[in-house]
Structure 1
Amino acid sequence: MSGQHTNSEIAVRVRRLEERLIGAGLTSDDELDAIIGQVTSGSPANGARVVARAWVDPGYRERLLADGNAALAELGFSMSTGPQPQRFTVVENTPTRHNVLVCTLCSCYPIALLGPSPSWYKSEAYRARVVREPRAVLAEFGLELPADTEIVVHDTSAESRHMVLPMRPAGTEGLSEEELARLVTREGLIGTAAV
């Protein structure tokens, strides 16, 4: 397959280029994130729509947790872009369990639902540390969890993608699905924030 590269190889090459630009003082992670965010500003709203639907529709929530790919199709989304279909799994946060995502190999990530991955998600420091010391890493993001909360780290790959279903915030019972979607952040979908 001369001249062809896997998504993982491309992601590694892109991150190396980003690191060189940053190392040369030409840009920063924050500037890159801002530029990418402007280019694809609507993408995280897709994941937020999925979450909001799950919060208001218990049947959809059950289908989403049982078969993420089929539940996405109900809302017109697909993880089957490119040459290789991807298995999509949604992991639910509960009062006793918190989920966080990482790709330890490179930076596999459901871009269509979460928007472009933030620079920190692609960094070697995050990829290594969140597996070894997830509670400390989450605290650095400002997410302090009770000591008895189990933290589960999910490793994405070229074949599978994950998304966190955050807990619905208290006091949001009267909000519409659209209003609920506006509460959901990309970090909440990764698991480095509560929502």
Structure 2
Amino acid sequence: MSADAHDHSELSPIQLRVRALETILTEKGYVDPAVLDLIVERYQTKIGPHIGARGVARAWLDPEFKAVLLADATRAITALGVVSQVGDHLIAVENTPGHHNMVVCTLCSCYPWDVLGLPPVWYKSAAYRSRAVSDPRGVLADFGVILPEATQIRVWDSTAETRFLVVPPRPAGTEGWPEERLMRLITRDCMIGTGLPLRPEEISP
């Protein structure tokens, strides 16, 4: 079996269809693979999840910014210097000891790319999109997030017009940390609500 065939065998049906479509469009001269690579690289290294992480870290440090973020997330994120559109209406929801938020798009895979970067593969899967609504506690457990029974879980359904950003609680032991260091604790998954921020001991000094 050739290496190329082996690579294809490990792709999902959707990934195979995307690769075939990209090949056809490239052969016809409609798209430039180098441009596609630049777009992907930008979302992976320049945008997400760094912009969202900066917004969360700023909210941990600045009560006034946090108030704006929770009242009008689009305005707050734009104030950080994001000039591209972050969705017609970006909503920030805060996790607390008694309430946990998680985000799904039940119809397709609407996602705040400009804030969190590229969506994870599982976010688009039918299994996540259905189980997140019917069994959110079980889904969180699958991700290693075990919440107390008393904690209420709310699932937010993204749409083409409305996207969500979860603001997780600030980890203990981070008093006096600057924004850049706090950002290293904030993962993409914790801003979707399927994860928790890293603990201070989980990152290098």
Structure 1 residues 145 and 68 mapped into 2: Cα distance closer, same or farther (>3 Å)?
same
Does residue 40 (structure 1) correspond to residue 44 (structure 2)? The answer is yes
Q: Secondary structure at the match of 1:126?
A: helix
Structure 1 residues 123 and 171 mapped into 2: Cα distance closer, same or farther (>3 Å)?
same
For the Cα contact (< 8 Å) 1:79–1:86, is it kept in 2? no
Q: TM-score, normalised by structure 1?
A: 0.79
1:58-88 superposed Cα distances (whole Å, 9 cap, x missing partner): 000001000111111211125636xxx5100
Higher Cα Rg: structure 1 or 2?
2
- In the other structure, the counterpart of 1:5 is none
Does residue 101 (structure 1) correspond to residue 103 (structure 2)? The answer is yes
Give distance in 2, aligned partners of 1:18 and 1:96: 39
Does residue 75 (structure 1) correspond to residue 80 (structure 2)? The answer is yes
Structure 1 residues 16 and 161 mapped into 2: Cα distance closer, same or farther (>3 Å)?
farther
Give distance in 2, aligned partners of 1:40 and 1:111: 10
Would you identify which runs of 4 or more consecutive aligned residues in structure 1 move more than 3 Å? 19-22, 36-39
Question: Gapped runs of 5+ residues in structure 1?
Answer: 1-14, 23-35
For the Cα contact (< 8 Å) 1:45–1:113, is it kept in 2? yes
Structure 1 residues 131 and 74 mapped into 2: Cα distance closer, same or farther (>3 Å)?
same
- In the other structure, the counterpart of 1:159 is 161
How do residues 115-126 of structure 1 correspond to structure 2 at under 5 angstroms? 115-126=117-128
- In the other structure, the counterpart of 1:31 is none
Structure 1 residues 96 and 166 mapped into 2: Cα distance closer, same or farther (>3 Å)?
same
How do residues 162-177 of structure 1 correspond to structure 2 at under 5 angstroms? 162-177=164-179
Instruction: Kindly tell me the number of residue pairs found equivalent between the two proteins.
Output: 165
- In the other structure, the counterpart of 1:178 is 180
Structure 1 residues 155 and 39 mapped into 2: Cα distance closer, same or farther (>3 Å)?
closer
Structure 1 residues 179 and 104 mapped into 2: Cα distance closer, same or farther (>3 Å)?
same
State the structure with bigger RCO (CA 8 A, min sep 6), 1 or 2.
1
Question: Gapped runs of 5+ residues in structure 2?
Answer: 1-11, 20-39, 198-205
Sequence identity percentage: 50
